[in-house]
């Protein structure tokens, strides 16, 4: 297993501007330098998720093309946490009609995923078969949301086939929203993983990845 971002790079962060984070893109960019990050991605929830959770749209997403990090040299990229909507593998990949290049394939329980929960493996398989050339990685595939029905081995195998990395999601792990048995299965067979915070706050940006790496070291998934 290879870790795509073993150093100071975090590719799963939520902002106040575009979804449910508590800090603005500017605050996140500034703070990232303070804690030694060199590359980050602001990956807010997709439009279907925002609509169903009744999150407001306070900022125009088109502004991200005009935004620059004026604070420091941290490389800031914009992405989207795209949701699978049903077992046919329909995926919402946009925010306000704009689809960024970095696409995290994700699932969240109803009302966001509105298909048959028992068919969540079909949902993943169909979404990956349809969109594998667009998907950057799978975010929190081992979450407890669908633990009773997901065939994590089948999903991992398909990700390996299409060279799609999977994510060790540190927020899910730290807040006890990870199915550990699925996590161990995934880590023992996956080719490449990202270790990301899924931070919604600055303290999470600072602390969560450290705790994730500790788990990986203690359980001998990485040798350091
Ligand atoms: Zn969120
Ligand atoms: Zn997220």
Q: What spatial distance separates the first Cα and last Cα of the chain, rounded to whole Å?
A: 14
Q: How confident is the model at residue 190 (pLDDT cuts 50, 70, 90)?
A: very high
Q: Give the model's pLDDT for residue 163.
A: 98
Place of tokens 């001998």: 220
Tell me which ligand sits closest to the C-alpha of residue 112.
1
Domain ranges of the chain: 9-218
Calculate how far, in angstroms, residue 45's C-alpha sits from the geometric centre of ligand 1. 6
Residue 147 has pLDDT above 90, yes or no: yes
- Print the SS3 string covering 109-145: CCCCCCCCHHHHHHHHHHHHHHHCCCCCEECCCCEHH
- Give the distance (Å) from ligand 2 centre to CA of residue 45: 7
The string of pLDDT tens digits covering residues 87-114 is 999 999 999 999 999 999 999 999 999 9
**CATH number, domain 9-218:** 3.20.20.140
pLDDT for residue 55 is more than 90: no
Q: What is the pTM of this model?
A: 0.96
pLDDT tens for residues 104-144?
Answer: 999 999 999 999 999 999 999 999 999 999 999 999 999 99
């Amino acid at each position: 297993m290879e870790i795509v971002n073993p150093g100071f790079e975090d590719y799963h962060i939520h902002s106040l501007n575009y979804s449910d984070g508590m800090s603005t893109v500017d605050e996140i960019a500034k703070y990232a330098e303070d804690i030694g990050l060199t590359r980050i991605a602001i990956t807010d929830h997709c439009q279907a998720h925002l609509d169903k959770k009744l999150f407001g749209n306070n900022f125009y997403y088109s502004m991200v093309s005009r935004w620059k990090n004026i604070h420091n040299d941290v490389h800031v990229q914009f992405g989207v946490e795209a949701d699978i909507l049903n077992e046919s593998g329909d995926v919402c990949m946009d925010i306000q009609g704009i689809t960024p290049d970095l696409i995290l394939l994700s699932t969240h329980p109803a009302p966001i995923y509105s298909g048959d929960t028992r068919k969540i493996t079909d949902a993943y398989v169909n979404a990956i078969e349809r969109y594998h050339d667009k998907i950057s990685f799978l975010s929190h595939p081992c979450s407890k949301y669908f633990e009773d029905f997901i065939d994590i081995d089948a999903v991992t195998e398909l990700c390996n086939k299409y060279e799609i990395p999977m994510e060790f999601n540190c927020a899910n792990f730290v807040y006890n929203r990870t199915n550990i048995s699925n996590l161990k299965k995934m880590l023992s067979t996956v080719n490449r993983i990202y270790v990301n915070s899924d931070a919604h706050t600055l303290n999470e940006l600072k602390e969560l990845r450290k705790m994730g790496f500790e788990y990986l070291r203690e359980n001998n998934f990485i040798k350091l």
